[in-house]
Copies of this chain bind each other. A is one copy, B any other.
Amino acid sequence: MLSKDEEKKISSAVIKRLPRYYRYLGELLENDIERISSKELSVRMDVTASQIRQDLNNFGGFGQQGYGYNVEYLYNEISKILGLEKTYNIIIVGAGNLGQALANYIDFEKSGFVVKGLFDVNPKIVGISVRGLEIQDIDNMEMYVKNKHIDIAVLTLPKQKAPKIANDLAEWGIKGIWNFAPTDLQLKDKSVTIENVHLSESLMTLSYRIKDRV
């Protein structure tokens, strides 16, 4: 058996596709579909059957020849692979437009991401309640993160403030940062995982692809 460090490295292309499989399987499950072949799933998802089988085989043989994949079993396996069987405690840093929108989104909880706190510097909004959570002053954040086992911080604050806050959070033991500020965070502490969401960049690729320009 391969030791932890020798385990086959899963390519990030594969990882990025897993949540999509998970979503489609969830829909199949809702529709009481018990099994599915890579062929049929490939039609629904508009990818090749070969890719589906190859992707899944990175993690083990979940299917059965002549039968296909059991939807519920595969759904649960992917859930485990993605780490969704755990619960993650989340805080949102920057309780402005985007921070509040994310805080109000209940579907994250279905996947195990539970918003435990909201923080902001603006005294005008500190104390306001968002989905049952009072926005707290940023000065409380250190104690809060250290005491409440916060796993993930969502950064929805101005890009100038993001690097400092990210570093602090890393020091206080956070595991992951979901960053919406338009900057690429780089931490000394490489044990902290960063996922950048650059919405403006997504919109720009859309504008690139709009043919016969406006």
- A interface residues with partner B (beta carbon < 8 Å): 15-16, 18-20, 22-23, 45-46, 81-84, 86-88, 97-98, 100-102, 104-105, 107-108, 111-113, 149, 151-152, 175-176, 178, 182, 184, 186, 191, 193, 195, 197-214
Contact = CB atoms under 8 A, between A and B. Distances in A.
Chain B CB within 10 Å, residue with most, of A84, A107, A201, A207: A207
Contact of A205 (B19, B97, B152, B201): B19
22 contacts: A15-B205, A15-B209, A18-B205, A23-B201, A82-B205, A83-B207, A84-B207, A86-B207, A87-B214, A88-B214, A97-B100, A97-B101, A98-B105, A101-B101, A107-B182, A108-B200, A111-B200, A151-B210, A175-B210, A193-B211, A195-B203, A195-B209
B178 A213 contact: no
Given A104-B97, A108-B200, A205 B214 contact: no
Stoichiometry, as copies per complex, reads 2
Nearest to A99: B101
B182 A210 contact: no
Contact of A175 (B88, B111, B152, B214): B214
Contacts of A102: 199
Contacts of A211: 175, 191, 193
Contacts of A23: 182, 198, 200-201
